[in-house]
Structure 1
């Protein structure tokens, strides 16, 4: 009965969420196009300047689970208002920043506020919709996420073609327009649950940052620091009265398995957002405006087909959608590997398969993870799911930037005849193989279970 009562309000919330999610994800991804310009302006390498994106994603990720835990003690509408105001404050700092380190401060504050969006985007479909229609709910939200990921570079290209790149910081101001609608349609009441284990959360955040530094800088010192802090974190969650992540949640095998798959596939899929603009700018030499046009078809296709993915999951099951999504992604990466260095029109076609596939995959995995959680662990579990997705994106951006900086000695794809695009072609080929292996592994697991 409760689900039936909440669904009309939930349908309105989904539309608001889709818009807000698009704004927050655009703010995360649109700076990818600006990275070469920022690097040239401040005399930095691509690996160094990639912190404009990876620092945002890291704070965004850790903040997501914190907001998820706060949602048990405070109303969602007040958390959203607080988060969006902080989001806008960071934007104003970045807009007028005179130095690179001030830009990073603005990005961190942006992320600290924007992290409320993925948290509620995972919680609302679970709280307001029953399992049999949850695919449609996640489909609408994931459509907003996919549109934001795809349109970020497009909007960035347009802004940079007529204004300075720092005007990209203005995008979050549009999210403030949604606050009155959340106050109108959210009717949740805080449960008065216990607070957050801040020491445990701090250990987790610092360990994650050190791991990212170890990956981007190939540093054993950072890797060692990560191991020490992560062991302290594991000890903390076993002794804290209200641990940051409960040990029981980590012993939930279906949940942990779903998180692992989501972590890997999100990192792979982030190549579409991070690598493709770099390829078109550095190899095809496209100006920002033309680069944006190459990304428009994928954005349109994702917007049109996102809800279809949710409907397919409800009718045929999330596993069917998983195989369809991984097939589309494998095709996309193979095409990208082959077409790297060729006409941008071919890249635009390949991105359609990839963006739609990534949207379908996110829907499928979100449904699978939500069904593996007991009701009392839904908030923290879905918050952790969103958090790890963004951590995966942060890791991936550092890894991809480091590989691009090093270049390639040989081309692995014999069909691609463009040496200047070899490093991109090799990366896309490796990612296609990874998706095929994941699909075969999931098929084998499904066959054993039947």
Structure 2
């Protein structure tokens, strides 16, 4: 009888393992589509601007509005995931995405197009939150790295393939057809509802004042950074003060102050923010280098970036296995070394040969993927089960904010002129500004390595306690 009972238990365990595997495959495929949707419309902006007779700054809001809602929504969904069924939140999110996509496909004017993108972002923002929550909630620390590797692969592959797909669609059809691609996600709803459980957290009243102040703080910060506007900067400080006051005084604040009192969590989040900002230079700076210095077309520059992104996506699961078998620290230091190789070599070869840059970018994209896996895994180990949704939602939010700030500083650096190379061994005159940016990024990676060592000591002390 004991043998039969043990066999039944093993079968149940095997079924649970199979369910988790199928769940991760579905989530990864949906993340590919969701991340494609964040980059596809960059290619279509000129055509949209011409059709609706709008300025470049107005057409830019087609991307900016999506990113702002996408960033804010990842935190809100993360908070809701601590209280409500994840399968229901995913269903609602994908339905919002579907409605937004249908409106976008028939959009006949600019305001309707913006509404469509906002609805898309309001729905799609559940997915980056789930990319962190599902591995943290349903996988043990010993297997979590592989799961995070799969989600990271989906995100990386989608970002890489998005501009290429958009280029093909916009040249053969029209930009409206880009809105049909996200409709594929609706087929994942019954599968998510099948493989996700009915687990819910403790239901409390939602602190709408705290949620609003957080949203206002994030939006004003991103606008202040992207627009370099002092008024938005002042608004950010005001809303930040209100948000801090609210989480300290509310009976059940939107984000518990204990989360920020967790030193291991805060230091890990800071380390990741610096790494995310540095990593953003790869998809942001590389196409500008190819177009401005190597005189490639935007579409061709996307093809030159594709090998690095696709190789990183293919090896993401391997990175997760390294984290599971050798530990997060091993993977993080591997990523730091790869970053140093990438940015260090680019400070020499930027502007020399696009093919050489293409090869070096492989190290950078692999570093970016491995760093995110390692930091997500490290961060999840600093959180209690009740804090997982909010904590991992903030993780994704920091990614967006750090990228926005990084893009602004890089843009300001590129707008200047200089003949002085920070790399004394560089002999090529073209691309000096790009070379100098890569030197600064190399120094930032060194600082990240030092900071991560401090993180390891802090998390080690926390485990002992």
| Equivalence map 1:79-118=2 (5 Å) | 79-118=89-128
Rounded to whole Å, the distance in 2 between the matches of 1:119 and 1:224 is 29
| Equivalence map 1:68-79=2 (5 Å) | 68-79=78-89
1:19 maps onto 2:29 in alignment: yes
1:408 maps onto 2:428 in alignment: no
Going from structure 1 to structure 2, the CA distance change for 1:44 and 1:301 (only over 3 Å counts) comes to same
| Equivalence map 1:275-290=2 (5 Å) | 275-290=285-300
Shift of 1:77: 2.0
CA contact (8 A) 2:150 2:317 kept: yes
Q: 1:384 aligns with which of 353, 376, 394?
A: 394
Rounded to whole Å, the distance in 1 between the matches of 2:172 and 2:346 is 29
| Equivalence map 1:19-418=2 (5 Å) | 19-34=29-44, 44=55, 50-191=60-201, 193-404=203-414, 406-410=415-419, 412=421, 413=423, 415=426, 417-418=428-429
Going from structure 1 to structure 2, the CA distance change for 1:129 and 1:4 (only over 3 Å counts) comes to farther
CA contact (8 A) 2:342 2:361 kept: yes
Paired residue total = 447
1:362-406 per-position Cα deviation (integer Å, ceiling 9, x unaligned): 1100111011112221222122212222232233334434444x2
Shift of 1:5: 6.6
Rounded to whole Å, the distance in 2 between the matches of 1:428 and 1:101 is 39
1:191-239 per-position Cα deviation (integer Å, ceiling 9, x unaligned): 4511421221111111111112222232222211111110001111112
1:255-280 per-position Cα deviation (integer Å, ceiling 9, x unaligned): 01111111221122112122222332
Going from structure 1 to structure 2, the CA distance change for 1:425 and 1:156 (only over 3 Å counts) comes to farther
Range with greater deviation from structure 2 (65-74 or 224-233): 65-74
Larger Rg: 2
State the TM-score, normalized to the length of structure 2. Answer: 0.87
Structure 2: 5+ residue stretches without partners: 1-8
Structure 1: 5+ residue stretches without partners: none
CA contact (8 A) 1:73 1:195 kept: no
Rounded to whole Å, the distance in 2 between the matches of 1:86 and 1:245 is 25
Rounded to whole Å, the distance in 1 between the matches of 2:131 and 2:245 is 31
Rounded to whole Å, the distance in 2 between the matches of 1:390 and 1:433 is 22
